[in-house]
Amino acid sequence: MQKTVHIIGAGISGLSAAVRLTNAGCRVHVHEATQQPGGRCRSYFDAATGLTIDNGNHLLLSANRHALAYARAIGSESGLVGPKRALFPFVDLATGQRWQLDLGEGRLPLWVFDEARRVPDTALRDYLALMPLIWAKQGKRVDETIRCEGTLYRKLVQPLLLAALNLDPPDGSAGLAGAIVRETLLAGGQACKPLIAREGLSAVLIEPAIKLLHARGASIHLSHELHELAISEDRVGALKFGSDDTVALSPGDAVVLAVPPRAAASLLPGLTVPTRFRAIVNAHFRFDPPRDLPPILGMVGGLVEWLFAFPQRLSVTISNGDRLVDMPREELALAIWRDICRAAGVAGELPPWQIVRERRATFEATPAQNALRPPTVSAFKNLFLAGDWTATGLPATIEGSVRSGDRAADHVLALRRA
């Protein structure tokens, strides 16, 4: 008999679980609290710039195999675009120095043996000194595992880990940093090709999923916030969305709770979840990118960390952005625009701009917070957890979200077979 699965939350984790479950023939209902699916990965029209922008620039790497499989499953893999080779141009705003990291196309990090492809002024021994990260224990911090100083640290390790962990790398979990290094740098250039959703996050990663789910008979209920999980014995017996809006579950029905950690903890008292978060700041400027500007430019020695060139728009990302959340918006926009002018070689008045500050962009990727992440299985037989904050072994990323959604779906399917 076809079983019903209710998915709570239409972020990437909920949608990936929904796609996998409809693929397997389940009847799926997705319930999303807000008016728009996508959660922390979405686009919207912004009146200040007159453009459709993303809540944040999202970078994927070719190593993100679950995220790519999800994009393939919803028919939008071609919307994730990037260079054929893993090339990362950088500029140091403090010195004006420019260089290009060329990780090549292979399955081994052979580029570290080639001085011309390495970070300038670094030697092979600097790269070998990163090895302890690869087998680091979960409880260790990055600064307890590798030396957080020197040229290689400042020009490669710091920008990479800051982007991946969204906190000052020395404080970060060495276990999570090690997972990133194992899956990317250590896996050679073929794993490190940068990919972006040039047409927008919603157009590439969200709307095609919704379309596919509708076509497969799934229902998507927007503005439908779950208020209570009614428990009967060892399972969820009903979902309460409002005083006169309760969905009773039949035996064999299942629930995937794919909401952020605070919402999950309030729906499931006693659940251990990460309690501390870090912000990410994005700024978007309506400005035609110069022809010679690469699609993604790494920046060190300034305020901005990554500059993205989109059609009609220059956008930047600043991770670990808590220090900037209360800064006056105009002042912040001007400071960022000054960095962009130097990096992109452009000049002029501040163009139309927008600043998006996501205060709880990711859980704090410290060893202590990482230890609070719960597994997929819950205390209740028919309830499974998903989300980038569950115990995926990765920091809060799209790849982690998709893995968590896939894993929750696999548990639901195993339950059906049992």
Identify the helix (H) or strand (E) that includes residue 264.
helix 261-267
Task: Give the separation between CA 48 and CA 46, rounded to whole angstroms.
Answer: 6
Q: How far apart are the first and last CA of the chain?
A: 13
E strands present in 3-57: 4-8, 27-31, 43-46, 51-54
Write down the least CB distance from residue 402 to ligand FAD, Å: 9
Task: Give the separation between CA 368 and CA 371, rounded to whole angstroms.
Answer: 5
Write down the least CB distance from residue 327 to ligand FAD, Å: 16
CB nearer ligand FAD, residue 88 or residue 127: 88
Tell me the two tokens of residue 2: 């076809």
Write down the least CB distance from residue 340 to ligand FAD, Å: 18
Q: Are 88 and 298 in contact (CB under 8 A)?
A: yes
Q: Which residues contact 242 (CB under 8 A, 6 or more apart)?
A: 227
CB nearer ligand FAD, residue 19 or residue 33: 33
| Listed residue (298, 284, 382) closest to 333, CA to CA | 284
Task: Give the separation between CA 225 and CA 73, rounded to whole angstroms.
Answer: 27
Residue 281 one-letter amino acid: V
CB nearer ligand FAD, residue 73 or residue 112: 73
Residues in touch with ligand FAD (CB under 6 A): 8-14, 31-34, 39-41, 55-56, 58-60, 225-226, 258-260, 263, 280, 282, 358, 361-362, 387-388, 396-399, 401
Write down the least CB distance from residue 309 to ligand FAD, Å: 15
CB nearer ligand FAD, residue 55 or residue 145: 55
CB nearer ligand FAD, residue 26 or residue 33: 33
CB nearer ligand FAD, residue 112 or residue 197: 197
Write down the least CB distance from residue 53 to ligand FAD, Å: 11
Write down the least CB distance from residue 122 to ligand FAD, Å: 25
Q: What is the DSSP letter of 324?
A: G
CB nearer ligand FAD, residue 344 or residue 396: 396
Write down the least CB distance from residue 223 to ligand FAD, Å: 9
Give Dmax over CA atoms of the chain in angstroms: 68
Write down the least CB distance from residue 40 to ligand FAD, Å: 4
Q: Which residues pair with 316 in a beta bridge?
A: 283, 307
Task: Give the separation between CA 186 and CA 338, rounded to whole angstroms.
Answer: 35
CB nearer ligand FAD, residue 8 or residue 372: 8
| Listed residue (153, 155, 137, 157) closest to 145, CA to CA | 137
Instruction: Work out whether strand 87-92 and strand 98-102 pair parallel, antiparallel, or are unpaired.
Output: antiparallel
Task: Give the separation between CA 169 and CA 142, rounded to whole angstroms.
Answer: 6
